[in-house]
Amino acid sequence: MKYFTRELEHIERWKNLRKDLFRNEEPAVKLIGMTTPSEEMVSQGITTETLPAYTARQSHESEGTYEDDLKLNKKLISWGHHTCLEAVQFVYYVTGVSKSLAGQWTRHRIGIGWTFRSTRYVKANKNLFIYPALEYMDSEDTVRAAYGIYEREHQRAMDVYEELKNLGVRNQELRRLMPVGWSTAAYVYVNARSLRHFFELRLDKSAEWEIRRLAYMMFNNAMGVAPTLFEDLMSDESLKLGK
């Protein structure tokens, strides 16, 4: 099951025009790890998803089944009892995002951290570019023309990079001339509470297209593993595009 498909399809409406562009890279999100209850807890039917509710039962020393815990997750969220969501940590590997996106993403300070690819240690000639979605443009000809200009400037950036490199300039200075559309990749460590906060801000229509695209992709993934921790966001009409 996919969520926010209409919103994601709108952002991706010109994706087919980008596939052969110079050094184009598209985003990808992969879940590579998440909190797993200990063997003892698993034997009692506790899962990654029910861990928040299970631990929250401490407050009343109550007991419940797996189904009860799924229901309790939803209640805890509606009550604003969110600390227990910190029981679950996700680790994602995100590729094909721009330096511009990284600047916005790393403004989130609480319950989230990253290891980004270093542009000091990794050579720029391995790197690619993130072309803008231009989803607000309706003319295919105009979009092609705009992509052509981005292509030209990306090519120029790589030419200048090679020129300076041949003079002996190091990576750490070469990267200064790269555009903010230069691609990067990161492992991100985020707990379920912080991930919800990211979704609340970045699934919103007012969020910039690239970080909103990433939020849609991460939301789809998170919904696949722990839906009760995130599904209430689907009923927030303000996050959806109008008809």
With binding defined as CB under 6 A, does residue 213 bind ligand FAD? no
With binding defined as CB under 6 A, does residue 238 bind ligand FAD? no
Which position among 19, 60, 107, 126 is part of the footprint of ligand FAD (CB under 6 A)?
A: 107
CA-to-CA separations, 236 to 34, 85, 193, 203, in angstroms, rounded: 26, 19, 17, 10
With binding defined as CB under 6 A, does residue 32 bind ligand FAD? no
Q: Of how many residues is the chain composed?
A: 243
CA-to-CA separations, 129 to 61, 82, 103, 143, 204, in angstroms, rounded: 53, 38, 16, 17, 25
- 66-95 residues near ligand FAD, rule: CB under 6 A: none
The Cα–Cα gap between 30 and 223 comes to 13
- 110-129 residues near ligand FAD, rule: CB under 6 A: 110
- Chain position carrying tokens 């590579």: 32
Least distance (Å) between residue 220 CB and ligand FAD: 19
Nearer to ligand FAD, 129 or 198 (CB): 198
Contacts of residue 160, Cβ cutoff 8 Å, sequence gap at least 6:
177
- 188-207 residues near ligand FAD, rule: CB under 6 A: 197, 201, 206-207
Least distance (Å) between residue 104 CB and ligand FAD: 7
Nearer to ligand FAD, 14 or 199 (CB): 199
**Contact positions vs ligand FAD (CB under 6 A):** 107-110, 197, 201, 206-207
